[in-house]
Structure 1
Amino acid sequence: MTRTHVLRLARVREALASGEAQRLRVAAQLSIGEVARGCGVDQSTVWRWERGIRSPRGKPALAYCELIDSLRKQAAPTSSRPESA
């Protein structure tokens, strides 16, 4: 596993621990089953990740990290321009 992979695992585990990962999933209107299929795991696995029962590992964890990173980008404001009064 590369250094980049390890850093990505740390980032996704922090997002899970803080509840950010679940908030992003819910805001994107994605079910646990949809996320699980996208990561190549059973939906009970994602359920356990989101509740802190298990930590994501290996290729599914990296796929989950990619998903969370993409959801973060979608949730980010598209413009940093201040609104006029």
Structure 2
Amino acid sequence: MTHHADVDSGHLKVVNSCLGQSLHRLQNNMTQVRQSQSRDEGEFLSWLKQWSKRSDQIAMRLELIDMQLDRMFPAPEPALQLRVIDADR
């Protein structure tokens, strides 16, 4: 069953045809899909926000670890290199 607006009286009529019932089911399904999509988008945005915060925390921790390692193990002085040069120059 589906409802159909009666233009003259402004009331809804119930349409008892296969097409009317199919349209009614389609409208109900579309409403459910829109609600589900909206809920899914909200959950995704929440997850994205949470991941962004955690990503920043991880980056800060890695930077701190790098600084600590640099203090513990400073970079060695570059090694001296011997070169052979052409005497004709």
Q: Normalized against structure 2, the TM-score is what?
A: 0.30
Flag the structure with higher strand content. Answer: 2
* Higher gyration radius (CA): 2
Q: Normalized against structure 1, the TM-score is what?
A: 0.31
